[in-house]
Structure 1
Amino acid sequence: MTETLVHATTLDQWKSVLDVWFAQGYEWHGTGKSYHERYFDDGWRFLLLNKDNDILKPTLRRQSIEYSEFMAQQKEDNKMETYYVTQEQLDLIKGLKNRKYPLNILFIELDRYKNIQIGLNTHEEKALLRYLGGDTSIEFEVKEQLYRLWRIDDGDRVYMKFTKYGTPDWTMDEDNAFTAPCEEIEKHKTVSWEIEKAD
């Protein structure tokens, strides 16, 4: 995917862009799904969705699109809703979809429902029910496994992160750690850092 930089001039536009990206499964790098109105209040008027599928505050000027152009693209692209799940969840969902009465099986076999439900928000659960009910505008795909680096020490567990200037740093908060696909993480691994899966 290429980077997308959207120019928002009002807080409502800011929130609308984020709503679109949150519904598609994206989130702020390290801080989850929040509107971060303080960024807008501090003068930021651009939202960046980078190639690693993280929403970031842009630090350099890039080619941007206006809010109206972004929303027009969304109307064209919204023919198919894609939700990202684990491989195990996808196998269960596909197995249910091939059954004659998938909703009955889903709710009768409670263990199956619990295994699929883990990590899904209310919107994604509703999409699952629509998908099993025959809605062809919804698809489920496996989300790419992300990894992070933790420092090999005897003390507290610390994780690698990057500052806004792109220099390496550390944090004790795993949610603020630098996460990326395995190939990218391996570029930053040294004898002092160990790789682990990020949830």
Structure 2
Amino acid sequence: MAETVVHVMTLEQWKSVLDVWFKQGCKWNSGDTEYSEHLFLGNKYLFLVSYKNDWNYIYCADEVGTSIEYSDFMAQQKEDNKMATVYEVSQSVFDELQRIKAHEGTSLIGAITFNAQLIKSIEVGNKAILRYLAGDPAIEFKVEELLYRLCRVDNDGDTVYMMINAWGTPSFSSNEDSAFTAPLEEIKKWQTPAWEIEKVED
């Protein structure tokens, strides 16, 4: 388990830190992705707890031992943003992009023109794709990892999903967005006879 603690002084700083974490897919330990301004009063420390299975949650406190200042946190984000932007796509889309990039038997412009409809259909956006095809090292594509979750039907006939609560222990929720999701091998570690494995659909 890793923990990042940021000290904020203003509501604007509070929102800026949460914006960064929300964009990374993190949520409050309740599963919400709201600014929750009412928590700011008396709580000037924002925590991000990360588990090795890529499950992260946010909480806050009024005092803490070790933290980083807001300005240092934002400076680190700027440094991180200089790294390549990575887009995750399906295996078939990735293969098509590799084929276009190789542009065997034709020019790159010819390959792009011939595959214009396919390029337009990819949700990433034309600019990023064209930069990637032209060899821009700041844009990367990789095959998205398939994610799974555990589900079961309760006594009322409703589907519930396994989640991990704020204390890091298994619980359940009827909200599939709150479900613990991970690659298949990790999900298998949590499976019991009560739970069935379900592929997470986009």
TM-score of the superposed pair, with normalisation by structure 2: 0.71
Q: Which structure has the bigger radius of gyration?
A: 2
- Offset of 1:28 from its aligned partner? 2.6
Q: Does 1:27 align with 2:25?
A: yes
Change (3 A) 1:15 1:4: same
Distance (whole Å) between structure 1 residues aligned to residue 60 and residue 6 of structure 2:
14
Q: Is the 8 A contact 1:11 1:37 kept in 2?
A: no
Which residue in the other structure is 1:97 paired with? Answer: 101
- Offset of 1:69 from its aligned partner? 1.3
Change (3 A) 1:33 1:53: farther
- Offset of 1:126 from its aligned partner? 4.0
1:92-133 per-position Cα deviation (integer Å, ceiling 9, x unaligned): 2333333312542442xx24542x32xx4xxx6543343234
> Which one-letter code corresponds to 1:197 in the other structure?
K
Q: 1:162 aligns with which of 161, 164, 170?
A: 164
Q: Does 1:151 align with 2:149?
A: no
- Offset of 1:79 from its aligned partner? 2.5
Change (3 A) 1:83 1:33: farther
Q: 2:177 aligns with which of 166, 175, 178?
A: 175
Q: 1:72 aligns with which of 71, 75, 78?
A: 75
Q: Does 1:141 align with 2:150?
A: no
- Offset of 1:152 from its aligned partner? 5.2
Distance (whole Å) between structure 2 residues aligned to residue 29 and residue 152 of structure 1:
25
How large is the RMSD of aligned CA atoms in angstroms?
3.4
Q: Does 1:81 align with 2:79?
A: no
Q: Is the 8 A contact 1:49 1:55 kept in 2?
A: yes
Q: Which moved more, 1:87-96 or 1:1-10?
A: 1-10
1:22-62 per-position Cα deviation (integer Å, ceiling 9, x unaligned): 66xx213499994x111x43135314162444552237868
Distance (whole Å) between structure 2 residues aligned to residue 15 and residue 53 of structure 1:
23
Change (3 A) 1:166 1:73: closer
Distance (whole Å) between structure 1 residues aligned to residue 143 and residue 5 of structure 2:
25
Give the % identical residues: 45
Distance (whole Å) between structure 1 residues aligned to residue 66 and residue 2 of structure 2:
12
Q: Is the 8 A contact 2:163 2:173 kept in 1?
A: yes
Change (3 A) 1:37 1:59: closer
> Which one-letter code corresponds to 2:101 in the other structure?
K
Distance (whole Å) between structure 2 residues aligned to residue 198 and residue 11 of structure 1:
35
Change (3 A) 1:58 1:171: same
What stretches of structure 2 of length at least 5 have no aligned partner? Answer: none
What stretches of structure 1 of length at least 5 have no aligned partner? Answer: none
The number of aligned residues is: 187
